């Protein structure tokens, strides 16, 4: 075992080979993009899961490459001042909350830095107004949706929880600190019911058993709760009794079955059968109403979504006269947010069900200046532009992690909107795309990080770009 502070003395550049299972004592210097700790030994980089910036710790190399290695945190010798005891006892095994061992302030610092670094290093931009990241006042219980697999423990009890790491082994845990408190109560009711009625969970190996997953959603503004039980069949015996028991939960508004008899990893089946109440719950983002069905996409952190969209609206700089394109629009949330301040909004989304929801949401909110198209943004926009000479004052994009297709970016440049607003859940691909646009006549004016997923390594960000007038 060796100490990197000692090894730093004149030994840099030595042809040292680092091997699996070797142990080192290191000080964590920084946080990697996934939330892992980073330490250096003579310029050789170690990535250490669960280590917090500032920790002095003993680590063991688990996989060594030429210029870097992955290492396991064996022991924290001197905890970092930023280290806290995670509230969740299973956070390490679950792997969802990768930075829960860091204080919330440190988590925000890490996310703010990550966005800045990516914009500077990948995006090659330095001159922009960078607002402090918007964190949550109460960074727990923020998720409005949870899906729990149901299975059997080794001693034959019915359990629910989450899959450990990239496996299908269920780690028993009903109390996720990111989810709503009602989850635990609902899972308890369903498991007791199954025990009493001798209903078995689905077994992925034998393909027998009835109950596969339980999906729970809560509308934060209206308080409505939806339970959808995913079954390997088309009904649950004595389901009236189960409904009765679930109605004890305050806010219970919709209970349904999702029929999934396929041998698949996809959770939801094609058919939804409502067994109590409405086939949807209703929630609000800001003052806009949304109907959410079991299979609809809806942002999982509604509190932060409101803040994110408000920034996107601010960066769009609308006066009521503009034509706006909202690409990758999902169920039209951003489109509808913008529509009341624009002349016309066009939304484009690849999933046809989402566009059906978007049209319905527009109607529900009395918005008649939003039009939606099903298709790939990189195909719909270029086609529209060629055929109709499409015009845009503002283009908003909110792509998945892989970012925008070049064909789309090229069309945006040709259409030459005054402003481009880029909403992103991956600041690396955001930076790549921003660079494309800055090399073709745009400049980044404003950047705002929003912490949509506290305790995880992920972060959202919105960038306001302006066309340069030369």
Stretch that binds ligand SAH, among 17-25, 73-81, 216-224, 347-355 (CB under 6 A): 347-355
Cα Rg of the chain, angstroms: 25
Which residue pairs from 12-16 have beta carbons closer than 8 angstroms and sit at least 24 positions apart in sequence?
12/42, 12/43, 13/42, 13/43, 14/42, 16/42, 16/44
260 touches ligand SAH (CB under 6 A): no
Query: Taking CA 447 as the corner, what is the angle to CA 219 and CA 358, rounded to the nearest 5 degrees?
Result: 35
Compute CA distances 162 → 165, 172, 200, 339, 373, whole Å: 9, 7, 18, 39, 36
330 touches ligand SAH (CB under 6 A): yes
Q: State yes or no: is 425 an active-site residue.
A: yes
Shortest Cβ distance from residue 15 to ligand SAH (Å)? 47
334 touches ligand SAH (CB under 6 A): yes
Q: Residue 132's CB: how many other CB atoms inside 10 A?
A: 9
The footprint of ligand SAH on residues 88-127 (CB under 6 A) is none
Shortest Cβ distance from residue 348 to ligand SAH (Å)? 6
Shortest Cβ distance from residue 159 to ligand SAH (Å)? 32
Looking at the DSSP bridge assignments, the partners of residue 370 are: 345
The residue at minimum Cβ distance from ligand SAH is 330
328 touches ligand SAH (CB under 6 A): yes
Stretch that binds ligand SAH, among 94-102, 178-186, 395-403, 460-468 (CB under 6 A): 395-403
Shortest Cβ distance from residue 390 to ligand SAH (Å)? 16
350 touches ligand SAH (CB under 6 A): yes
Nearer to ligand SAH, 106 or 357 (CB): 357
Catalytic one among 94, 176, 404, 425? Answer: 425
Stretch that binds ligand SAH, among 89-97, 138-146, 218-226, 374-382 (CB under 6 A): 374-382
Nearer to ligand SAH, 215 or 450 (CB): 450
Looking at the DSSP bridge assignments, the partners of residue 50 are: none
Q: Are strands 252-259 and 419-424 parallel, antiparallel or unpaired?
A: unpaired
The footprint of ligand SAH on residues 266-305 (CB under 6 A) is 297, 299
Query: How far, in Å, CA of 464 to CA of 448, rounded?
Result: 9
Cβ contact 25:58 at 8 Å = yes
The residue within the footprint of ligand SAH, chosen from 354, 447, 450, 463 (CB under 6 A), is 354
Query: How far, in Å, CA of 462 to CA of 183, rounded?
Result: 31
The residue within the footprint of ligand SAH, chosen from 283, 322, 393, 398 (CB under 6 A), is 398
DSSP SS3 for 353: helix
162 touches ligand SAH (CB under 6 A): no
Stretch that binds ligand SAH, among 48-56, 101-109, 214-222, 323-331 (CB under 6 A): 323-331
351 touches ligand SAH (CB under 6 A): yes
Shortest Cβ distance from residue 287 to ligand SAH (Å)? 17
Query: Taking CA 59 as the corner, what is the angle to CA 53 and CA 61, rounded to the nearest 5 degrees?
Result: 120
Sign of CA dihedral 156, 162, 165, 168: positive
Environment class of 165 (CB within 10 Å of its CB; exposed 0-12, middle 13-18, buried 19+) = exposed
Nearer to ligand SAH, 43 or 400 (CB): 400
The residue within the footprint of ligand SAH, chosen from 4, 91, 144, 377 (CB under 6 A), is 377
- List the beta strands (DSSP E) in 112-240: 129-134, 145-152, 158-163, 170-172, 211-218, 225-231
Interaction pattern, residues 163-182, with ligand SAH; x per rule: CB under 6 A: --------------------
Q: Residue 300's CB: how many other CB atoms inside 10 A?
A: 17
Nearer to ligand SAH, 144 or 173 (CB): 144
Nearer to ligand SAH, 253 or 299 (CB): 299
Shortest Cβ distance from residue 367 to ligand SAH (Å)? 16
Query: How far, in Å, CA of 201 to CA of 76, rounded?
Result: 40
The residue within the footprint of ligand SAH, chosen from 107, 333, 361, 456 (CB under 6 A), is 333
The residue within the footprint of ligand SAH, chosen from 27, 57, 288, 348 (CB under 6 A), is 348
**Which residues are within 8 A (CB) of 170 and not within 5 positions of it... i.e. 6 or more apart?**
149, 150, 151, 159, 160, 161, 162, 163, 164
Query: How far, in Å, CA of 62 to CA of 60, rounded?
Result: 6
Nearer to ligand SAH, 50 or 357 (CB): 357
Residues recognised as catalytic: 425
Chain residues in the site for ligand SAH (CB under 6 A) = 297, 299, 328-330, 333-334, 348-351, 354, 376-378, 398-400
């Amino acid at each position: 075992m060796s100490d990197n502070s000692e090894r730093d003395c004149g030994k840099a550049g030595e042809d040292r080979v680092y091997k699996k299972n070797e142990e080192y004592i290191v000080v964590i210097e920084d946080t990697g993009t996934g939330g892992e700790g980073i330490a250096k030994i003579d310029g050789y980089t170690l990535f250490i899961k669960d280590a917090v910036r500032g920790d002095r710790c003993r680590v063991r190399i688990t996989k060594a490459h030429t210029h870097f290695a992955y290492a396991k945190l064996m022991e924290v010798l001197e905890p970092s001042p930023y280290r806290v005891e995670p509230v969740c006892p299973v956070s390490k095994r679950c792997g969802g909350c990768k930075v829960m061992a860091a204080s919330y302030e440190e988590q925000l610092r890490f996310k703010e830095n990550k966005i800045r670094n990516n914009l500077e290093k990948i995006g090659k931009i330095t001159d922009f107004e960078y607002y402090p990241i918007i964190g949550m006042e109460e960074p727990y219980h923020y998720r409005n949706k949870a899906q729990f697999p149901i299975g059997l423990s080794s001693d034959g009890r019915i359990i629910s929880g989450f899959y450990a790491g990239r496996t299908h082994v269920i780690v028993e845990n009903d109390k996720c600190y990111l989810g709503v408190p009602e989850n635990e109560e609902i899972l308890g009711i369903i498991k007791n019911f199954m025990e009493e009625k001798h209903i078995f969970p689905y077994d992925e190996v034998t393909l027998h058993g009835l109950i596969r997953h339980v999906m729970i959603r809560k509308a934060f503004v209206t308080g409505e709760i939806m339970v959808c039980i995913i079954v390997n069949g088309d009904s649950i015996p004595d389901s009236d009794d189960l409904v009765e028991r679930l109605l004890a939960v305050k806010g219970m508004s919709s209970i349904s079955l999702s029929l999934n008899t396929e041998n698949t990893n996809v959770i939801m089946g094609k058919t939804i059968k409502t067994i109590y109440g409405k086939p949807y719950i209703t929630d609000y983002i800001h003052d806009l109403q949304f109907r959410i069905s079991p299979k609809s996409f809806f942002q999982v952190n509604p509190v932060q979504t409101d803040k994110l969209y408000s920034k996107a609206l601010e960066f769009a700089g609308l006066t009521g006269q503009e034509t706006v394109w909202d690409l990758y629009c999902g169920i039209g949330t951003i489109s509808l947010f913008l529509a009341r301040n624009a002349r016309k909004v066009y939304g484009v989304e690849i999933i046809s069900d989402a566009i059906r929801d978007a049209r319905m949401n527009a109607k529900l909110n009395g918005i008649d200046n939003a039009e939606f198209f099903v298709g790939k943004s990189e195909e719909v926009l270029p086609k529209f532009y060629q055929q109709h000479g499409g015009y845009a004052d503002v283009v908003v994009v909110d792509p998945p992690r892989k970012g925008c297709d070049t064909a789309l970016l090229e069309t945006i440049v040709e259409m030459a909107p005054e402003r481009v607003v880029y909403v992103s859940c991956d600041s690396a691909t955001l930076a790549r795309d921003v660079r494309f646009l800055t090399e073709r006549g745009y400049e980044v004016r404003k950047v705002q990080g929003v912490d949509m997923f506290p305790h995880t390594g992920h972060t959202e960000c919105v960038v306001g770009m302006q066309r340069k007038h030369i």
